[in-house]
Structure 1
């Protein structure tokens, strides 16, 4: 089963252009086949839209990571939460 990770950015921060979200999540120790961003100005606008996108693409194990963007990196606010799978 493919796994997906939804990264929800808090505080209205943005990631720099060209930021490789999936690689950065893997470097932090989060395993996923695909990562999607939810932010006020980037990616999806709502978590349920990102979840629906991943689910319809065949990703059964989907987790949510709430994070802050700080100096071109992500800082998790708490451990990821399983949304499905």
Structure 2
């Protein structure tokens, strides 16, 4: 099955979080850190949950930093990279 989109992004507070579906290999470290924000889909790739926005900033950043393949990236409102 081909993937419709390779990068999914969501605005969470003043941050934009991106999941690069080509890079994600499903280790699940982000889910371990923030299960209210991330889950694995049927392909074993990280996706946002419906309640992803309800996480505090520090936990969100820790979850994104935990990705061993840098499939998660974060930029601030000015477009400045925060993670990785």
Q: TM-score, normalised by structure 2?
A: 0.32
Give the structure, 1 or 2, with the largest relative contact order (CA under 8 Å, sep 6 or more).
1
More strand per residue: 1
